[in-house]
Structure 1
């Protein structure tokens, strides 16, 4: 049996960030094991695949605090302007970094790029052992420790285990940590596209009767598409020939970037809110998608998960002598309650408000977008969430 201070189940964005941030915050005082089922290869790894994600301004500041941003910045594309509109209607609002005196509203990164960077950082760190490919098959907790058995038959012991193993967390299931679900009855269609006009750091969120269409700026003037559709329509769109797919997307998104000329490989996943009200237990904590998996509207999910990671790191750094003390873990849960609740309510409300074409709702949301555009104070709560400038 090999002993560690912390075992992290899951080595994708949340788990790897946690390992590196915890090592930095404690000046290398802890021994950390990261158990990950997949090699860092975008063709296989579900957490470091070909998708792109948006890092908010607040997330970037957090990564800077943990000395992680410098490496990531080289593969990041700045978001300098966000355009929000309602298809077929007048309501719209815009957010520009110049108006807010920030260098960028956020950045877009490809998960595969960050996966390679994190893998290099972890491999070079003597305080972190990456056990990969491997997975936890048995988890037992005792008064002063937790023990896990791996698929490789290795046995590990630690003072604390952290579940960062995704929305279907096997570790959370192993201790019967309850999870609530809300099916939004939508599917996200994912692809990278190339448009006639250069994106110039612009991001777009366009609401339609069937769900939002988001385009995020990427390197080489590509755009990352997240197109939310009802399941039957998503199935149809995934089967279209490239020319038909582009035509359908053009009709939904419009012409703000000129013609949409090309699209890469398409993939999809169902949009279901998965939420665990309880994110701590005896010598056990939960972060990232294992704690909550959100609808992608407004790009809140990963940024919320990074705030989980940062809060947990700060709490653990205060109790290095015994990381599993329930006092510290309960403080972590209390710190995260308000932010988690507010962000989940915001994204769920936006889905309900902007994913239907009922005329009173349509009238109300267009009035809201118009007022937000001409009355800046009304826009501030959305700006704070967009920028990730929230209490944690």
Structure 2
């Protein structure tokens, strides 16, 4: 079974890549995905359940897509199916709890249609599963997993857990931070532990969110709230392991009270919170983006802290760069294609990793000199166009 590209991992990065390679580059693609399908959708606020274990790529979390990511999804004819359940972001409010400074972005002021949009991963999973199954250029091997690969001069042989053998000119590792492909070729990674955990839930509001997203910095870590359908917000609350253990033991009323104390009353009262989930926050960076006829994209290449919502938005730029690099070559695994991809990603990758890591360290502590400095910085940001441009463009994914 011979393919131009074999994509290992069919979640958001791998699924987007496979569909883009078919639609834009007319490549014959195999997608190998270990999980049988997306979680079942539940529109209530309790839809963040124990389904995390069923498909970590399409669980019931929500993510913020930047404007640049929305534009790329439109280019790949994916946005029309996703937009029906997406919530536009018209403005972003950034503040530091207990201090004077705040800033933000507004789509109208920037002359943009929107700043981004929030999608629920379970919704994306259903759309992608259907599109992958319907595409005549794509074969989906699911559930199945890679067990070994052998690199040859002009192709790579892959064996799956099912015993099926595939041959591809290019292998793409889109199988997450703990990539099996990386393990098989011994492509190591660096890990920067932020000593934080993300607590995730959906909360129901008393007042309309008016399509505004919030990033609030506290002494424990950032609190992000993203607008969703049915007047809900997706909560990502970053905190220490000690505080996480306490938070998981709170009853619903205490949880809402503690959250209200950290976030404030910009959205009125929080009425209800769904089930909780959590995961540790670390920066993972793969040592090499390319190997002989193998490339790494998305979380398999780098996994970021969720501050400023850059994770998938960086990943989809990986996808776009790879699609551009291989579109005009019959043999998309040749070194010059891979080198073009690697070289085009280095600056964006380093800048985004550096920015998110710096934000974590600047805004996740209560050391007084740092508190003063960051509040002065937020105040200056609103009156310093030279600073605004670079930060806003990266936040909007326009890089």
* Corresponding residue SS for 1:5: strand
Which of 365, 368, 386 is the matching residue for 1:356? Answer: 365
Query: What root-mean-square deviation, in Å, do the aligned CA atoms of Structure 1 and Structure 2 show?
Result: 0.9
Deviation sequence 1:313-370 (CA, Å, 0-9, x none): 0111021x21110111011100000000000000000000000000110000000111
Distance 1:5 1:370 in 2: 51
- The Cα shift of 1:374 comes to 3.1
- The Cα shift of 1:375 comes to 3.2
Which residue does the alignment assign to 1:22? 21
* Corresponding residue SS for 2:295: strand
Distance 2:249 2:163 in 1: 43
Deviation sequence 1:140-193 (CA, Å, 0-9, x none): 111111111111111111111000000110101110112011000000000000
Matches within 5 A, 1:260-299: 260-299=270-309
My pick for the range that moved more, 160-169 or 141-150, is: 141-150
- The Cα shift of 1:235 comes to 1.5
Say if 2:37 is the partner of 1:40: yes
- The Cα shift of 1:276 comes to 1.2
Which residue does the alignment assign to 2:390? 381
Matches within 5 A, 1:36-185: 36-42=33-39, 43=51, 44-185=54-195
Deviation sequence 1:101-142 (CA, Å, 0-9, x none): 111100000001011111111111111011000000111111
Which residue does the alignment assign to 2:208? 198
Distance 1:277 1:339 in 2: 16
- The Cα shift of 1:71 comes to 1.1
Deviation sequence 1:44-63 (CA, Å, 0-9, x none): 11100100000000111111
Which residue does the alignment assign to 1:309? 319
Which of 337, 345, 361 is the matching residue for 2:346? Answer: 337
Which residue does the alignment assign to 2:47? none
Distance 2:220 2:32 in 1: 39
Distance 1:146 1:67 in 2: 30
- The Cα shift of 1:41 comes to 2.3
**Structure 1 length as normaliser, TM-score?**
0.97
Which residue does the alignment assign to 1:237? 247
* Structure 2 stretches lacking a partner, 5+ long: 40-50
- The Cα shift of 1:379 comes to 1.8
Which residue does the alignment assign to 2:12? 13
